[in-house]
Amino acid sequence: MEFDAVIIGSGQAGSPLALALARHGWKVALVERSHLGGTCINTGCTPTKTLVHRAEVAHYARNGARWGVSTREVSVELPKIIAQKDALIQSRREGQQKGIDQLPNLRLYRGSARFVGPHELSVGTETLNSRRIFINTGARPSIPPIPGLESVAYLTNETILDLKILPKHLIVIGGGYIGLEFGQMFARFGSDVTIVQSREQILPREDPEVAKELQRALEAEGIKFLLNAKTKSLAKRGAAIIAETALANDGSPARLEGTHVLVATGRSPNTDDLDLHKAGIQTDKRGFVSVNDKLETTAEGVWALGDMKGGPAFTHISYNDYQIVFANLIDGKNLSIKDRIVPYCAFTDPELGRVGMTEKEARAAGIPLKIGKTPTTQVARAVERDETAGLMKLIVDARNDRILGATVLSSNGGELVQILYALMLGDLPYTLLKGAVYIHPTLAEGFFFLMDAVKPVEPPALAAD
């Protein structure tokens, strides 16, 4: 059957693109082999942030005495929380289905798509043809080759969402964003948590002092860390799981005993069963689809959107991919991802709101810099809330006072960093906020101290010849 567009995957690029093109009058096919909504609705943002919130409620209830509020013994009803999460997911899926049903020129195919030619796909017994094909198949948890892993009924960020029995001791393999969010979540639910990280710091992409400050905050809640450690093997011993690890610097062993293991060691693209080679679509060695600045693949008339193309793996980036493609195709724009500024947030507590370059990246680029840092302890609102873990950091181009990057590690850090992101979008100097009037007392008032702290720094040392 011939279509104006075929879209593979109903994630946060695929679904809005299908709806928008259909409303524009195109005849559209949307192919989905699982649930509507992709990662965000089913195993990502919607369920995880629901659970993060419930864990926050448990944290406040359990620690009420810290703020002078007496509470009785706190117990977490995990099955009830999971039921709330499932109900929310189902409502989002039904909302997507309702939108599709309202458009007669949008046809939903249930099944797996495979390329049989440059502009031809098979879905079950059906053959779909189109001059324009969009791939939005997302990614899945990467599973490392750890001896014994398959024998311990390990969890991933997807399967842990259905866990209805609270782990006594959760071992998290991986100290990235996913591992930290789930680690803190289950610590607040009541589990003992140990995070095993193969690198010298958690969140290796972030600047060291930011990672250390977040680690201190998590350790204050009882979370244990084993850094620079490789998980050598896993084994089941009765009801226990034994993790044998070795420190990278000297190989000294360390044994952990837990009841559950969460593997949080990255993501792999869902591209291996698409038969991309039959359409002339190239991938890198990990399977991520190669695209140009307009999100076009190496096959003419085929675009790749969202996580499966590599790069920043965030729902809002997937949605922005849709915005770029639609604007270029329908509105005659000439947008690209080349200069896209990417804000993101790790939903720990304190939240890690980030945008743009880190200090490490800016120094590596050889840019003359101004840098400002201020601890959250200077922010009146944070002090009044007795939630002062964190810091704010600004990286500025010393040549023109434009913001290159920003970090806000604090309560509501993800909300706050977007104020600085707005300056970056407008190509405005950081000094615009230097003399601003801030509502007192708010967390944003911390920018008053942050702007004052910005000073020139020594240029990076030149590499020896």
Backbone phi, then psi, for 385, in 5-degree steps? Answer: -85, -10
Q: Are strands 126-130 and 120-123 parallel, antiparallel or unpaired?
A: antiparallel
Q: What is the DSSP string of 215-271?
A: HHHHHTTT-EEE-SEEEEEEEEETTEEEEEEEETTT--EEEEEESEEEE-S-EEETT
Contact (Cβ atoms closer than 8 angstroms) between residue 182 and residue 155: no
Three-state secondary-structure class, residue 429:
strand
CA separation for the pair 9, 139 (Å, rounded): 11
| CA 205 – CA 418 distance, rounded (Å) | 19
35 is catalytic: no
Cα(76)–Cα(189) distance, rounded to whole angstroms?
Answer: 6
| 77, 64 Cβ separation under 8 angstroms | no
Strand 260-263, strand 267-269: pairing: unpaired
CA atoms of 186 and 279, how far apart (whole Å): 44
Q: What is the largest CA-CA distance in the chain?
A: 67
Give catalytic residues, as residue numbers.
440
